[in-house]
Amino acid sequence: MSASDTPGILGVPARQLFWSVVPAADARRLGDAVRFRCEPDLPLALDRLHVVTHLCPSGLMILVAIPPEALRTLLLAALHQRRVVPDSLPPFVIEAGATEADRLALDLLVGPFEPVEAVRRRRLARITSAALLVVALAAVLVGTERRVAHGWRAIAAEHTAVDAQIAAVVPAVAGESLRADLRLVQRLRQAEEQVAAFGRRPGAMHVVDACLRRLPADSTWRISEISSDVNGLRMQGRIAAIAEAQRLQRTLAQLDISGVVLNVDQPQLSPDGTGADLTMRWTWAVR
């Protein structure tokens, strides 16, 4: 069945068209400029013709041209045509390798001659595709927003759980308004300072030596026991008179050993008929 026998398809005699073919190698090499390669084969300049090109599966390019006025005349004689194609192929085009499928692909109703119905269908297809794309993007955005919101809720819940654990380990003291995490940092810094201070403390023998050097020459205090721990130094002994306890407290009120200070606590006295047992304790105080 020829194109002229198919409803909605108008077949144009091949002799009313201008033809040119470009071999596959030249078509690939020239690319978009391949039309100008065909211009010497045409009786009129390209800008004065309605031109249609078709790239065959073999790589051969076929160019068909017709004056716009001639095409309008054909369309006026046969209205409501959906396609306008050549009714046959010239022998030299067939010899170049063109087939019947290539002939049917040479539709002249393109560009300014495209049917309004085809333009509407294409526009509707584009609008439909755009609408589907918008719906798909909206669905992706909504899903992403929900995942992000869920992620933030999970993070907030995790932070709340961590704060609760910190609050249980490091409870706030009266009047303290710091958040649990900041309170933990503060406690850690205090602990670091305490550890550093402990590392700078002199040994117990240095402390005892400094204490004994400051005892008055006429002191009656006879030391019977010396002990130390992480908090300070403790010395226990016996004095002849209770009044000497106050003098020793003033004399040994503060010991400074290489920048490390020990402050004396209130002495503990156990008097009897011949004197008193005296216990003195010094605690560390870092400058």
Positive or negative, the CA dihedral 135, 141, 147, 153 is: negative
Q: Is the pLDDT of residue 206 over 80?
A: no
Q: Is the pLDDT of residue 92 over 80?
A: yes
Q: How confident is the model at residue 184 (pLDDT cuts 50, 70, 90)?
A: confident
Show the tokens assigned to 104.
């049917």
> What's the mean pLDDT in 267-279?
87
Q: Is the pLDDT of residue 90 over 90?
A: yes
Residue 5 pLDDT: 52
Residue in 186, 160, 162 with CA at minimum distance from that of residue 173: 186
Phi/psi for 165 (5° steps) reads: -65, -45
Q: Is the pLDDT of residue 195 over 60?
A: no
8-35 pLDDT, tens digit per residue, is 788 899 999 999 988 887 777 777 677 7
Apex CA 100: angle with CA 94 and CA 102, to 5°?
Answer: 85
Q: How confident is the model at residue 169 (pLDDT cuts 50, 70, 90)?
A: low
> What's the mean pLDDT in 48-75?
90
CA dihedral angle for residue 237, residue 243, residue 248, residue 249, rounded to 10 degrees: 110
Q: How confident is the model at residue 64 (pLDDT cuts 50, 70, 90)?
A: very high
Residue 89 pLDDT: 93
Residue 196 pLDDT: 56
Residue 2 pLDDT: 46
> What's the mean pLDDT in 280-287?
73
User: What's the CATH code, domain 3-114?
Assistant: 3.30.420.380
Asked which of 93-107, 214-228, 273-287 is least confident by mean pLDDT, the reply is 273-287
Which residues have CB under 8 Å from 268's CB, separation 6+?
278, 279, 280, 281
Q: From the options 3.30.1360, 2.60.40, 1.20.1070, 3.30.70, give the CATH code of 204-286.
A: 3.30.1360
Q: Is the pLDDT of residue 95 over 80?
A: yes
Phi/psi for 217 (5° steps) reads: -65, -30
Instruction: Please answer whether residues 16 and 70 qualify as being in contact, where contact means their C-beta atoms are separated by less than 8 angstroms.
Output: yes
Between 115 and 55, whose confidence is greater? Answer: 55
Positive or negative, the CA dihedral 76, 78, 83, 87 is: negative
Show the tokens assigned to 258.
């290489």
Q: How far apart are CA 207 and CA 230, in angstroms?
A: 13
Q: Is the pLDDT of residue 207 over 80?
A: no
Residue 194 pLDDT: 58
> What's the mean pLDDT in 43-62?
89
Instruction: Please answer whether residues 285 and 207 qualify as being in contact, where contact means their C-beta atoms are separated by less than 8 angstroms.
Output: no
Q: How far apart are CA 98 and CA 182, in angstroms?
A: 82
Between 134 and 187, whose confidence is greater? Answer: 134
Distance (Å) of CA 42 to CA 13, 16, 85, 128, 258 = 17, 13, 19, 41, 109
> What's the mean pLDDT in 64-81?
84
> What's the mean pLDDT in 115-136?
77
Average model confidence (pLDDT) across the chain: 80
Beta carbons within 10 angstroms of residue 168's beta carbon: 9
Question: H helices within 170-282, ranges in order?
Answer: 180-200, 204-213, 243-251
3-state SS, residue 235: strand
Q: Is the pLDDT of residue 285 over 70?
A: yes
Residue 197 pLDDT: 55
Residue 10 pLDDT: 85
